[in-house]
Amino acid sequence: MTQYVGCDHARELLEGLLDGELSMTDQLAVESHLRWCRTCALHLDDLRHLGASLRHEAAAKQGDADAERTVAAVHEAVLMRVRAEQDQSWGVRVRETFSDMRLFWPALGATAAVAVCVIAAGSVLQATGVQRQESLAALISNLSSPAPLKPAEDGFFGVAIPRPNEDDAERTGGTLDAFPEDDLIFFVRAVVDAEGRVSNYDVLLSGDGGAQRSVRDRAVLDAVAQTRFVAAQGNMGRSRAFDMVWVIAKATAVVGPVVEIAAPVIPAPVAKAAPQPEVQPPSVADPRSSTNRPRFRRPTISATA
């Protein structure tokens, strides 16, 4: 049974019919339509007329005998050139390869762009190659492969603890001379910032509970506030803030040798979450010292992280 097609659909298929590109079903449907549709038949005639006219004119244009001879001569020249090219140097071949520069410049531009991108990416990778210790990558790396703890070589876990200047240490300890008590000891918690200044200080424990305590505490705290430290030094040589407990003591030897308190005492590290005041060990009389030497006072330093 032949399929019925309307004029609109038939017009779409006319060119396929003319060119012999329709399926058998479509061809039968269109030919059936053309039997009764005069308009579409005329349309198809027009298309046939166009094709015939083009072929006629094309034949007229290329049918010239002189042109035939010219074509043959040109192609003889082509063959001669082909033979010559077979013996040509590589330089000439490369030049002729690039004779059509239509795609050369876009290709060159694209290549240059790729090269720039590769160089930029390499620069970024190189710049990020040095891993900073405080970076997230370093943290993950350390957590994934923890290294054994090294013993502290100099200071507190590789950090050189802050030390007061000699003059400041003497002045701070000398503050206690203004008070008549023979033996005094202060535990001051202080934060020494990266520039060696004391900030955020507090008296943890003072020597006794006498009437002059508040006056004495203020005097000691004023002296502490004015003290300048050599700031703590980290592994990379950078200055760091340091939270520590500073022990300031005045000890008196009434009879016998001079009491000498050793210079800074660095105790074992104490957990930061629960800092405990350090208690200065009792002074030990040195029997080798002379009895007529003056009494000597020196502040001592103890630190907790």
Q: Give the number of other Cβ atoms within 10 Å of residue 165's Cβ.
A: 13
Stretch that binds another protein, among 15-23, 25-33, 230-238, 247-255 (CB under 8 A): 15-23
Least gap, CB of 10 to another protein (angstroms): 14
Residue 133 interacting with another protein (CB under 8 A): no
Least gap, CB of 131 to another protein (angstroms): 50
Query: What contacts 279, CB < 8 A, 6 or more positions away?
Result: none
Nearer to another protein, 34 or 188 (CB): 34
Least gap, CB of 46 to another protein (angstroms): 5
Residue 208 interacting with another protein (CB under 8 A): no
CA distance 65 to 30: 42
Q: CA nearest 299: which of 230, 254, 250?
A: 250
Q: Which of residues 31-70 bind another protein (CB under 8 A)?
A: 46-47, 49-51, 53-58, 60-62, 67-68, 70
**At residue 95, what is the residue type?**
R
Nearer to another protein, 94 or 149 (CB): 94
Query: What contacts 26, CB < 8 A, 6 or more positions away?
Result: 13, 16, 17
CA neighbours within 13 Å on the CB side: how many for 135? 9
CA distance 213 to 200: 20
Least gap, CB of 138 to another protein (angstroms): 54
8-state DSSP, 196: S
Rule CB under 8 A: choose which of 4, 86, 130, 151 binds another protein: 86
Residue 102 interacting with another protein (CB under 8 A): yes
- Alpha helices for the chain (secondary structure H): 7-19, 24-36, 38-62, 65-85, 90-97, 104-127, 136-144, 166-174, 213-226
Stretch that binds another protein, among 72-80, 111-119, 144-152, 256-264 (CB under 8 A): 72-80
Residue 24 interacting with another protein (CB under 8 A): no
Residues near another protein (CB under 8 A) are: 15, 19, 21, 46-47, 49-51, 53-58, 60-62, 67-68, 70-72, 74-75, 77-79, 81-83, 85-86, 96, 100, 102
